[in-house]
Amino acid sequence: MLGTVLHAPGDIRCDKVEDPTIQKPTDAVIKLSASCVCGSDLWPYRGLQPVKGPQHMGHEYCGVVVEVGSEVKTIRPGQFVVGSFVISDNTCPHCRNGFQSSCEHREFMTGAQAPYARIPLADGTLVATGTIPSDDLIPSLLAASDVLGTGWYAADAARVRPGCTAVVVGDGAVGLMGVLAAKQLGAERIIAMSRHKARQELALEYGATDIVTGRGDAGVAQMKELTAGVGADSVLECVGTQESMMQAINCARPGGSIGFVGVPHGVELDGQMLFFQQKNLLGGPAPVRRFLPHLIDLIMSRRINPGKVFDLEVPLADVAQGYKAMDQRSAIKTLLRM
């Protein structure tokens, strides 16, 4: 089959790759209904993360099960499934504690920018929808696989509670999903930090009550003004740079919480600064599996529409165009049609 392969920074192609097959008795093979490009795919694409040889890209997926291994018990061919970008057994102590992204048998999904994919630990990783969803729900279900689940985790880790004030640092797809999650979790005030008109509009549609356009200290000052100098109860950090991390920490009130989901690149935090800031910090790869049943339910009942975050659709063959648009920030997130 044809799949997406990153050969070197900037060099992404739709190439011939091996057809996925059952390799372990706990595997499933699925036919993807759609796939997409993640903000984290841009790190190696931009050369900010090493590329050691050709990589079969893609970790966001949903689709129909075509085959399962002999030990797969709950997932069956013909089901429509959504899975996390982190493979997990969903039975180990960390999974039972709700941190499936630190599963003792964790693997990071790859090779999902393709028509078919092998999913290890299928019973633990995949969640089946009750019925086959209609086509217009595919983008939203695909979003649940990572970008929505990650934004949701940011809000959860930032302890968004009914009535609270939340700030979202980062107006990429994850940040916008963070706005949606904060709204669903009951935040009364949601301050989105963005200076791109199209993204501001989507943030407002997803539930943002205020937009702050400043960055760094200027952004913090604008945000503080909106909260009578107190700071936010919850801050969702959805970028991963030193500047964005400090912006997030400085936006929270003492005792407030920062959920950080932007993979940190070059971030160093001074212990004494963290001590005197006195703020909760929790980050990491999102345990999407924990949230999937609820997210699927919200999508299938059309209470949320995370699929709107895809503002560019290209056929898989044109994947290079999809990466380029996201790299240049002319697209928020690219959906790949099979």
Distance CA 309, CA 172 (A): 9
The verdict on 226 binding its own copies (CB under 8 A) reads no
The verdict on 9 binding its own copies (CB under 8 A) reads no
Judged by CB under 8 A, the stretch of 1-9, 210-218, 262-270, 293-301 that binds its own copies is 262-270
State in angstroms the smallest separation of the CB of 108 from its own copies: 11
Judged by CB under 8 A, the stretch of 31-39, 95-103, 114-122, 133-141 that binds its own copies is 95-103
Nearer residue to its own copies within complex by CB, 200 or 280: 280
Nearer residue to its own copies within complex by CB, 103 or 212: 103
State in angstroms the smallest separation of the CB of 159 from its own copies: 10
Q: Among 13, 94, 215, 324, which residue sits at the site for its own copies (rule: CB under 8 A)? A: 94
From the CB of residue 314, how many other CB atoms can be counted at a distance below 10 Å? 18
Question: Would the CA dihedral through 197, 200, 205, 209 be positive or negative?
Answer: negative
Q: Which residues contact 119 (CB under 8 A, 6 or more apart)?
A: 27, 28, 29, 30, 61, 83, 87, 109, 125, 126
115 DSSP 8-state letter? S
The verdict on 213 binding its own copies (CB under 8 A) reads no
> Going residue by residue from 101 to 120, which x/- string records binding to its own copies, judged by CB under 8 A?
xx------------------
Nearer residue to its own copies within complex by CB, 213 or 278: 278
Distance CA 206, CA 183 (A): 7
The tokens for 34 are 């759609």
Q: Among 110, 214, 264, 300, which residue sits at the site for its own copies (rule: CB under 8 A)? A: 264
Question: Would the CA dihedral through 291, 60, 331, 220 be positive or negative?
Answer: positive
Q: Which residues contact 58 (CB under 8 A, 6 or more apart)?
A: 3, 4, 35, 36, 37, 41, 109, 110, 111, 112, 113, 114, 117
**Closest CA relative to residue 126, chosen from 99, 164, 157, 87:** 87
Q: Among 272, 301, 303, 328, which residue sits at the site for its own copies (rule: CB under 8 A)? A: 272
The verdict on 189 binding its own copies (CB under 8 A) reads no
From the CB of residue 175, how many other CB atoms can be counted at a distance below 10 Å? 31
The verdict on 42 binding its own copies (CB under 8 A) reads no
Residues in region 140-169 near its own copies by CB under 8 A: none
DSSP-assigned letters across all residues of 232-258: EEEEEE-S-SHHHHHHHHHHEEEEEEE
Nearer residue to its own copies within complex by CB, 178 or 306: 178
Q: Among 284, 300, 305, 313, which residue sits at the site for its own copies (rule: CB under 8 A)? A: 284
Distances (CA, A) of 133 to 15, 59, 128, 303, 305: 30, 21, 11, 14, 14
Nearer residue to its own copies within complex by CB, 269 or 317: 269
State in angstroms the smallest separation of the CB of 13 from its own copies: 29
Judged by CB under 8 A, the stretch of 53-61, 141-149, 181-189, 275-283 that binds its own copies is 275-283
Distance CA 48, CA 113 (A): 21
The verdict on 279 binding its own copies (CB under 8 A) reads yes
Say if strands 312-315 and 334-337 run parallel, antiparallel, or are unpaired.
Answer: parallel
The verdict on 49 binding its own copies (CB under 8 A) reads no
State in angstroms the smallest separation of the CB of 138 from its own copies: 30
Binding site for its own copies (CB under 8 A): 93-94, 97-99, 101-102, 228, 230, 240, 242, 245, 253-255, 260, 263-272, 274-285, 287
